[in-house]
């Protein structure tokens, strides 16, 4: 199983979770889905039913979006690349539209047509390797979000060239976390933590009325220090993209799973990008986009979005922040704004 990034959520919140058993009914369950461990802890009289419904919903979303599941809508879109437009659910259509919006905003740093690159590099699979420049160029010819053809009326998605493919790995966990949150709210839950492999929804506040405290993993942890900062707050989602989550090393170079669509190589500008906001699908997209754009352009993008806060860590371990919630971050070491 992969080691998860953000999120020492268990460590940081475990005292609360343990101490709060008496004050309200609690349900906590972990399942493996969306290629990661998902944990939901909820408080309230209907916690058990709520968590079961939330996990069922996340499983449904996972089945819809998994490019490696031949029955998913995403697979159907990919199988028909260069052949015909594919009618999809309103849900998948809207998700692709959302991705397209942020692809435009990020000048293509976030691009769901990265699938040929994902398949070529095979990061995290048995066959992972460093491809040659010609192979990368060939894959890159098929990577371009502007070529996706969306038909609003017919709700179809069309990839016009054979070999193109979409991969919703950069948004799926966030979207699933949003859906899980909706399920918990429908069951009257006002205090819960959803951890979808580093995509956290801290719903409401802790059952004792205090703010949630979420630890953000240090991208280069040491024995005595594995958290770079802690975010305290109520009712927010926090998502981190890092180069330490899925990678392999060759000749002392780290090759990880977030690609720069401009080069076809793993993005090099940052080693971790954390995004905080009111919607986890968007925070997930933006954590990937900011990671690819690097500190200057990434934080410039964040400053255009009034509800979004971001924290980035550069390869030199400088920590930079942008957005309205900056003062809610506590730093645990010498790192801080501009270090």
Residue 161's nearest CA partner among 184, 138, 182, 179 is 138
Q: Within 10 Å of residue 150's Cβ, how many Cβ atoms?
A: 15
Q: Closer to ligand ADP at the Cβ: 10 or 16?
A: 10
Q: Is residue 169 near ligand ADP by the rule CB under 6 A?
A: yes
Could you say whether residue 26 binds ligand ADP (CB under 6 A)?
no
- Report, in Å, the least distance between residue 204 CB and Mg ion: 24
**Per CB under 6 A, does 72 bind ligand ADP?**
no
Out of 57, 66, 73, 111, name the contact with ligand ADP by CB under 6 A.
111
Separation CA 63–CA 52 (nearest Å) = 17
Query: Which stretch, 17-25, 110-118, 204-212, 326-334, contacts ligand ADP (CB under 6 A)?
Result: 110-118
Neighbours of 305 (CB within 10 A): 17
Of 38-46, 205-213, 282-290, 311-319, the segment contacting ligand ADP by CB under 6 A is 282-290
Regarding 212 and contact with ligand ADP (CB under 6 A), the answer is: no
Nearest to 309 by CA among 320, 297, 321: 321
Question: DSSP assignment of 35-58, as one string?
Answer: TEEEEEEEESTTHHHHHHHHHHHH
Is 211 exposed, middle or buried, given 0-12, 13-18 or 19+ CB atoms closer than 10 A? middle
* Candidate residues 261, 269, 277, 294; the one interacting with ligand ADP per rule CB under 6 A: 261
Out of 33, 192, 258, 271, the only residue in the binding site for ligand ADP (CB under 6 A) is 258
Q: Is 266 in the site for ligand ADP (CB under 6 A)?
A: no
By CB under 6 A, is residue 166 in contact with ligand ADP?
no
Cβ distance 17 to 9 under 8 Å? Answer: no
Could you tell me which of 32, 33, 28 has the C-alpha nearest to residue 9? 28
- Residue 215 contacts which entry, ligand ADP, Mg ion, none (Cβ below 5-8 A, type-dependent): none
CB of 249 to Mg ion, least distance (A): 22
The residue number whose beta carbon is nearest to ligand ADP equals: 169
> 270: buried, middle or exposed (CB in 10 Å: 19+, 13-18, 0-12)?
buried
- Note the residues at the interface with ligand ADP (CB under 6 A): 110-112, 114, 118, 167, 169-170, 173, 198, 241, 245-246, 257-259, 261, 284, 287-288, 292
């Amino acid at each position: 199983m992969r080691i998860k990034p953000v999120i020492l959520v268990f460590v940081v919140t475990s005292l609360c979770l343990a101490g709060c058993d008496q004050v309200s009914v609690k349900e906590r369950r972990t399942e493996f889905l969306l290629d990661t461990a998902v944990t939901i802890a909820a408080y309230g009289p209907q916690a058990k039913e709520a968590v079961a419904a939330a996990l069922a919903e996340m499983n449904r979303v996972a089945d819809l979006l998994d490019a490696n599941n031949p029955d998913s809508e995403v697979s159907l879109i990919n199988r028909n690349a260069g052949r015909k437009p594919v009618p999809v659910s309103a849900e998948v259509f809207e998700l692709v539209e959302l991705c397209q919006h942020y692809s435009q905003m990020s000048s293509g740093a976030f691009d769901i047509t990265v699938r040929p690159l994902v398949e070529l590099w095979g990061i995290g699979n048995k066959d992972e390797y460093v491809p040659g420049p010609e192979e990368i160029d060939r894959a890159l010819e098929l990577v371009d979000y502007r070529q996706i053809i969306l038909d609003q009326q017919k709700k179809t998605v069309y990839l016009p060239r054979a070999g193109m493919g979409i991969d919703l790995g950069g948004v799926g966990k966030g979207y699933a976390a949003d859906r899980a949150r909706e399920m918990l709210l429908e069951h009257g839950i006002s205090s819960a933590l959803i951890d979808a492999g580093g995509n956290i929804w801290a719903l409401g506040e802790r059952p004792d009325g205090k703010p949630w405290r979420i630890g953000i993993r240090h991208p280069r942890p040491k024995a005595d220090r594995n958290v770079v900062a802690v975010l305290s707050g109520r009712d927010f989602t926090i998502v981190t993209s890092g180069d330490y989550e899925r990678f392999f090393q060759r000749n002392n170079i780290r090759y990880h799973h977030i690609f720069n669509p401009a080069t076809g190589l793993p993005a090099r500008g940052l080693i971790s990008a954390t995004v905080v906001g009111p919607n986890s699908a968007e925070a997930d997209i933006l954590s990937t986009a900011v990671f690819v754009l690097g500190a200057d352009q990434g934080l410039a993008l964040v400053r255009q979005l009034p509800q979004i806060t971001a924290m980035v860590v550069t390869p030199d371990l400088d920590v930079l922040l942008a957005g309205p919630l900056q003062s809610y971050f506590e730093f645990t070491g010498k790192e801080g704004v501009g270090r």
